[in-house]
Structure 1
Amino acid sequence: MTQKLVAFSLASLIFMVAALCFKFLSFSANGQYHAINIIGSIEALADNDYLGLAILQSAVILVLPSTILLCLLYLLIPVLFGKKPKHAAPLLKLIFTLRPWTMVEIFLVAVLVSLVKIMSMADIGIGLSFYAYALFAISMTAMLMYLDQHQLYILTSCELPAPPKPRPASHSIQSTWALLVTSIMFYIPANTLPIMHTNILGDDQPSTILGGVVTLWKMGSYPIAAIIFIASILVPVGKLAILCWLNYSVQTDYYGGQKTRMVGYRITEFIGRWSMIDVFVVAILVSLIQLGNIMSIYPGYAALAFCTVVILTMLAAFSFDTKLIWSEQ
């Protein structure tokens, strides 16, 4: 396992650096041409007064993954030579704290969705960085598949961390409710306000999440419309509903269906991050389609609201204490 983790981590770092060095995507229409790299796409969000989204995108697709990879290499290369790495315990804790927040593969899927979405609008070019980033996503995903907390603690000769001190049931329930209620409040503007504005020859065309799905469906892009609908509408609603049901069940001392409720919780853990697809699609389109008055795309307030929903529901899932499903209060 150690050799595979080191190999995939090294490959991921190499491909990530390569993805930053070349052109990522290009867009041309009516004689106008615009090309971007990954850093340029982040700068475009900041230039459009969406610094928060720019910071978030750079964190989840570059900063956090690279931090995990560097920490792993620091820990495992000495292990290959039979030595014990220093500061292993805090670094392992950091790795597994950051792991749920990496979204490399989600960004790659969002890029593919964006390409399909704008192919009918203009000519799209794919640069070397796109292929490098795809290989980075594949290598990173393979590395995460081999990332096992128990085995890593054994390999680095660290004691497994002590289980966290049990929190009062009321504390877990109240904090989860607070995050869920706030998520629901943000979900309303996320679906009613425009998530992006398309400016064509001075004509502003705002688009909501559901409006974008309908447009794609009418264009005949059924698979892409289905992906956006599932990721941006069904998944957030489903996650909110499941977490509300779980929190209500432990609050009312319901003891039945423990296995079913645990399955529901695991589903929310798995699907929660994938709602970021639509936010990344907007970020890519905003950075790529900037041709002045001929055609430009700008983010709407719903992008920030929807991003907040995704983060808050992930925090709500972390806040929920699964032990309350099995224990009688």
Structure 2
Amino acid sequence: MCPRCGHQLVAHRRNGVEYAYAFAVSGLLFLILSLLFDFLSFRASGQQNAMDLPAALLTLSDNDYTSLAIIMALGTLVLPGLTLLGIAVFQHLRLFAKPSKFAANTLLWIKRLMPWSMAEIFLVGTLVSLIKITSLADVYFGLSFYAYIAFTICFACAMLYFERVDAEWWLGDIEAGYEIPLDSKQANISVQRTWALLFTAALLYIPANTLPIMNTTLLGSNEPSTIVGGVRTLWESGSYPVASIIFIASIVVPVAKLFALAWLNYSVQYQHVTNQRLRAFSYRVTELIGRWSMIDVFVVAILVALIQLGNTMSIYPGPAVLAFCAVVFITMIAAMTFDSRLIWYEFDDE
């Protein structure tokens, strides 16, 4: 436990290295399987369409949203896969080799990739998108869907058993990368950089909520939908749990994260010395929940990839989807830029 804030730093689990190794290797195998078969298929008005994950990326690219396809590929396939590969390599070294600079660099990249790996968020987004379209069509799960569920479970278990603090203890004096010394100059740089990122995210949040995030073509008529409009439609249709999830993930979380980071940055800029434990806890929560705002983006990506039936029924991404992605990513970077050590230190002005 941390003597300052009471946060648990490490949990020693029996055979944790072996379990993390096994789950990482198993997750990689399931990830490969999730690419080989149909992921979802649906039937509506006598027409049927099937989707696999590589085809989903191509569909997004064909609709002139290559950037969204890249984001989806990185967040749901590439980065989670690289994270598991890194864990498998690192745990293999722990079991069969001695600490080395290569192992230290592997650990460094694992820590860098972890926040951007969004397999579990994509899976929840997939389930939300299915609830949205079950009233319009019959949806069927393919083998890749179940393989991806297994991959997500293995990924979560590998994260659970992989103890970064314990790994650093194993490395001992071998270090990869160097922590920036904590002084007044670096503190000011951290504060100003965080303010700039928060201001940019706040500006982008306006088009993210006012422009359409999704356009639905139904029998030749186009129906644009904003984030708030989508939540309202789900609520009025009786899908209260799904509407609540989208409302919390897409509206409450981004706004709460902006205000929380602004409060934390303001408090360290003016060297407040009160509520330090509360501020440290708020930072950890903010850092943890920020990624989950991507649910709505993944919902749009799945619906676009799955529902392409011409004028009968088709869904296309709206301009707000990229603005919303930018809000999520910039606030995540702002949380990383904010130096949480400043909560506990005071500096004299130079």
Matches of 1:77 and 1:244 in 2, distance apart? 42
> Equivalent residue of 1:124, what SS?
strand
Alpha-carbon offset, residue 75 of structure 1: 2.7
Counterpart amino acid of residue 170 in structure 1: N
In the alignment, structure 1 segments of 5+ residues that lack a partner are none
- The answer to whether the 8 A contact 1:88-1:158 is kept is no
Q: Which residue of 2 aligns with 1:79?
A: 94
Q: What percentage of aligned pairs have identical amino acids?
A: 52
- The answer to whether the 8 A contact 2:212-2:320 is kept is yes
Alpha-carbon offset, residue 252 of structure 1: 2.2
> Equivalent residue of 2:129, what SS?
helix
Q: Which residue of 2 aligns with 1:197?
A: 215
- Summarize deviations over 1:266-287 as a string: whole Å, max 9, x none: 1101110000000000000000
**CA 1:20–1:257 in 2, change beyond 3 Å: closer, same or farther?**
same
Equivalent residues, number: 329
Matches of 1:225 and 1:14 in 2, distance apart? 34
Matches of 1:243 and 1:99 in 2, distance apart? 21
TM-score w.r.t. the length of structure 2 is 0.91
Alignment partner of 1:318 is 2:333: no
Counterpart amino acid of residue 130 in structure 2: L
Alpha-carbon offset, residue 148 of structure 1: 1.4
- Structure 1 runs (4+) deviating above 6 angstroms are none
Q: Indicate the larger mover: 46-55 or 68-77.
A: 68-77
Counterpart pick for 1:23 among 38, 46, 57 = 38
Alignment partner of 1:230 is 2:248: yes
Counterpart pick for 1:184 among 199, 202, 213 = 202
> Equivalent residue of 2:215, what SS?
strand
Counterpart pick for 1:33 among 40, 48, 51 = 48
Counterpart amino acid of residue 305 in structure 1: A
Counterpart pick for 1:221 among 220, 239, 259 = 239
- The answer to whether the 8 A contact 1:198-1:296 is kept is yes
Q: Which residue of 2 aligns with 1:257?
A: 275
Counterpart amino acid of residue 6 in structure 1: Y
Matches of 1:87 and 1:33 in 2, distance apart? 50
- The answer to whether the 8 A contact 2:213-2:317 is kept is yes
- Summarize deviations over 1:161-204 as a string: whole Å, max 9, x none: 55332352221111001000000000000000000000011100
Counterpart amino acid of residue 79 in structure 2: L
- Summarize deviations over 1:25-83 as a string: whole Å, max 9, x none: 01211111110001111111111111111111111111111112222222322433355
Alignment partner of 1:247 is 2:262: no
Q: Which residue of 1 aligns with 2:287?
A: 269
Alignment partner of 1:175 is 2:190: no
RMSD: 1.5
Q: Which residue of 1 aligns with 2:4?
A: none
